[in-house]
Amino acid sequence: MKNKDVIEQKRADFRNNLKQAFDAQDMGKVADAFGDFAAGLQSDIAATAEEYARTNDSAVLSARGIRQLTSAEQKFYNDFAAAAKSTDPKQALTGIESTFPTTIIDTVMDDIEASHPLLAEIDFRNTTGITRWIYSDGSVQLASWGKLTDTIIKEISSSIEDIDFKLSKLTAFIPIPIDLLDLGASYIDAYVRVMLNEALSFGMELGVLKGTGKNQPIGMVKDLTAGNIGTGEYDDKTAIELTSLSIFEYCAIVGLLSKRPNGTSRVVPEVLLVVNPTDYITKIIPATTVLATDGTYKGNIFPYPTKVIQSEVLDEGEAVIGIAKQYKGFLAGSELDYSDEYQWLEENRVYKAKTRAYGTPADNTSFFKLDISGLKPRTLEVKVVDTAASSNDEESGNTTGGNEESGNATSNSEETTPTYTAVEEPTGNPSELGYYELVNGEYELSEDTSVDSEKTYYTLDE
């Protein structure tokens, strides 16, 4: 079996190639990306079949994602294989039920959520057979004690929203070699599910974050009140600049999420922060990590409960913050169709898996676009007190504030004299940690490589 890192690198390369193709709006490059990824996947599936035939070990199948099919799934793939082997596959395909069984789509969604954290966090549903979704925007309670007045009826009616997602379609190209069809339904299923997983997950993640709303989802970064709304194409929100993760600056942005567009409040138990992978390493980690006094790093320090998700869809410097479950996503089934566009792919018959999908923020204050290009690293403010000097002052009766002159003298001394504080329960290597020792009344850097339990170590207030 191939190393998991190798497999993940193949998938990362595929997503990167697909992103570049989509950015360039070059369908030829889209087909190339699918073809390159499919070639490696076909080889892996064939190797699995060969190993199982040699060992008859069912654990081999389980480890490679080959699963037991339901009777409906078995029939679907058998019918598809027979049609694909036909001398006229397009005509043969129109004569069978080409809609994926719901159980296949459920499994694909499970696979997607397991490997794509963003799509696992949002409110994503398999709504096969449904093209309109009705939900409450949460602005009023949908139950009330007392007489049901016209005012209450109007309030309840105004809080009901509906989403029509009949027109949004996501297409994945699936090149299938004739040899793969001969391996059997379970192997075809494993191949098709991986292709659907990678293609649909990237397309859905792109739509969830940046979709324009025109024949595609409305992205989290979009302003539901701005753009060519008549055609369903929305403008980006103006990015809010985030320069630090201080409690005041960060919570001011989180506070925007707690207000619905109509002014009512809502509870925000946790926020979702989506960032580019490079920004996560170079900006988010430095801004949420501190060096503790014991020499170890403490990370993921936010002033408000936050779940960070990395996404290649976002560019460096941009981020999205919001309430994950306030994004409504829908996947309404898939069907296979024979593709006439890419017959030039040798020894493959290319099919299109057309999926009806849609998504939208529940309201315009559920998500905000951020500019984190100027996000600064976190600094830990520490006030160091010279405990030895304080003890001597108390014994001699020289306390701060005894008289105005002594108070001023103390103030001036603190501004010019370095102060040291004793380290409680020191650990590690004193010389590497920059510890000091008090030698003949003078503080000197320790040369100890391990802690001497009979010594007192100090740190310098710089």
d(CA 348, CA 342): 9
> pTM surpassing 0.75?
no
**What 8-state DSSP symbol labels residue 423?**
P
The burial class, CB within 10 Å (0-12 / 13-18 / 19+), for 68 is exposed
Q: What is the pLDDT of residue 146?
A: 46
Per-residue pLDDT of the chain (462 residues), as tens digits, is 454 556 667 777 777 777 777 777 777 777 777 777 777 787 888 888 888 777 777 777 777 778 888 899 889 888 888 888 887 777 777 777 777 888 887 888 788 777 788 988 988 776 655 555 554 555 444 444 444 445 544 444 444 555 555 556 777 777 787 778 888 888 888 888 888 887 777 788 888 999 888 888 899 999 998 887 667 789 999 999 999 999 999 999 999 999 999 888 999 999 999 999 999 999 999 999 988 777 888 889 999 999 999 998 899 999 999 999 999 887 776 777 777 665 544 556 777 777 777 788 989 999 999 999 999 998 755 566 665 555 555 555 554 444 444 444 343 434 456 788 888 888 888 887 888 888 877 888 888 888 888 888 888 876
Crossing angle for the helix pair 185-210 and 71-84, to the nearest 10 degrees = 100
| Pairing label, strands 327-338, 348-361 | antiparallel
Cα–Cα nearest to 319, from 378, 271, 267, 266:
271
Domain boundaries of the chain, sorted by first residue: 387-461
In sequence order, which residues have a C-beta less than 8 Å from that of residue 124 and are 6 or more positions away?
109, 113, 204, 329, 330, 331, 359
Q: What is the pLDDT of residue 129?
A: 54
Q: What is the pLDDT of residue 373?
A: 95
Q: What is the pLDDT of residue 12?
A: 75
d(CA 453, CA 67): 61
Q: What is the pLDDT of residue 432?
A: 79
